[in-house]
Chains A and B, each alone.
Chain A
Amino acid sequence: MTTVVDLAADRLEAMVPARTVYRHGVPKSPAAEYLWVYSNAPVFESVDLADSRTLRQVTLWVTSTSRAADMPSAMRAAAWGAEKAQEALRGWHPGVGHWKPVPLTSQPPQPDPDLPDASVAFAAATWGFQYQS
């Protein structure tokens, strides 16, 4: 079954070849620079009184991470990846299921609090996808 994570990850792989793209989770030894895509479970909403049509809403997170020799370089590379991911998803209409992505929020690059001893920075953004069936 194709998920919105797969659709978005495919798009990012095609449009941002300079970054490895991980789906759902990050391996224990990730690439130095990567994009990570995951989502929550769809929320279903009825859009008519007869409950015959439902609207599925999914929130997608896209995290751009970079490990570099120093923090400024890591921040710059994380920001670059986040910007390219935004460009790849903005205005994009996947062919399957009529998912419509809408940019929701974003966070600028910052040092990873989980890895205080390494020069690892990440930037994150959320996208809303809706599908009416």
Chain B
Amino acid sequence: MSVDFTADGLDRLVVDLGKAGRKVTLGSAKVMAVGARKIRDGMREDFTGHAHAPAIPRAVDYTVTGLAFEVGVNKNGPQGALGNLLAFGSSNNAAVVDHTAAMRRELPSLQRYLADVAEDALG
């Protein structure tokens, strides 16, 4: 028993995928930038309302390296040095902020939009 198949159209697919790569990169960068801003805003909300660190939400920001976004408390920002204490606690005081919550809230949307970008690029 054998299976016959043909490579007709494969050259065209290779070209399409080549073009898609650029579209995916550009589209992903936009999606990631929007996602990073939403995570930053969500993290600012999560860090809001703490009596001893009223200014710390303004220290939450993000940095960009290619398609990698790092969102967190900037130690050089207002009351930024308190970020670790709020997020990780100490030897006998519990953390008061779940600094990963904003990221996890945004992740499903981020994944959906990135999938849309890939689909559109191949469309």
Judged by a CB distance under 8 angstroms, whether B85 is at the interface is yes
Total number of B residues with any Cβ neighbor in A under 8 Å: 16
Total number of A residues with any Cβ neighbor in B under 8 Å: 25
Question: Which of B88, B92, B93, B98 has the most C-beta atoms of chain A within 10 angstroms of its own C-beta?
Answer: B92
| Distance A26 CA – B92 CA, assembled complex (angstroms) | 6
| Distance A121 CA – B91 CA, assembled complex (angstroms) | 7
Question: Which of B85, B91, B93, B95 has the most C-beta atoms of chain A within 10 angstroms of its own C-beta?
Answer: B91
| Distance A43 CA – B94 CA, assembled complex (angstroms) | 18
Chain A residues with CB below 8 A from B98, complex form: 40, 59, 126
Looking at the complex, which of A8-16, A89-97, A107-115 is the stretch in contact with chain B?
A: A107-115
Nearest CB on A from B89, distance (A): 7
Judged by a CB distance under 8 angstroms, whether A124 is at the interface is yes
User: At the interface, is chain B mostly helix, strand, loop or mixed?
Assistant: loop
Cβ-defined contact, B91 with A65, below 8 A: yes
Given contacts A107-B84, A113-B85, contact A59 B100 (CB under 8 A): yes
Judged by a CB distance under 8 angstroms, whether A99 is at the interface is no
Cβ-defined contact, B99 with A114, below 8 A: no
Instruction: Provide 19 A-B residue pairs closer than 8 Å at the C-beta atoms, listed in order of the A residue.
Output: A26-B91, A43-B101, A57-B104, A59-B100, A59-B101, A61-B89, A61-B95, A63-B89, A107-B87, A107-B88, A112-B90, A113-B85, A113-B90, A114-B93, A120-B91, A124-B88, A126-B99, A126-B100, A128-B104
Which A residues lie at the B interface, using CB under 8 A?
25-26, 30, 36, 38, 40, 43, 57, 59, 61, 63, 65, 104-105, 107, 110, 112-115, 120, 122, 124, 126, 128
Which B residues lie at the A interface, using CB under 8 A?
84-85, 87-95, 98-101, 104
